[in-house]
Amino acid sequence: GAVVSQHPSRVICKSGTSVKIECRSLDFQATTMFWYRQFPKQSLMLMATSNEGSKATYEQGVEKDKFLINHASLTLSTLTVTSAHPEDSSFYICSARDPRGADGYTFGSGTRLTVV
């Protein structure tokens, strides 16, 4: 089935720095990818929809200048958390859907971000 690779799996950064998370579709092309945030023991919250070759669509309440999304190719989307603060510490997960099949959405393994 479709595979989505997410990197890194864990990252610790200092307050004020920026962190980039990559999401790749390994065996299919994804014109659309999705970025989620998950707080402990909570469900996934959709942050934004990443569109290849155009601007991302952000959900209400998500700061687009804080969470920069770039979808420069059909297999790669990146999420950059800019000027990170401790409250940005969370679990971030990306997903995509293989347009060739009917397997639904495939998720990356997630990135645990800790801002100290």
Nearer to another protein, 75 or 106 (CB): 106
Nearer to another protein, 14 or 41 (CB): 41
71 contacts: CB under 8 Å, gap ≥ 6: 33, 50, 51, 52, 53, 54, 56, 77, 78
CB of 109 to another protein, least distance (A): 4
Nearer to another protein, 63 or 103 (CB): 103
Place of tokens 């801002």: 115
Are the C-beta atoms of 69 and 56 separated by less than 8 Å? Answer: yes
Instruction: List residues near another protein by CB under 8 A.
Output: 1, 6, 32, 34, 41-44, 46, 49, 91, 93, 95, 102-110, 112
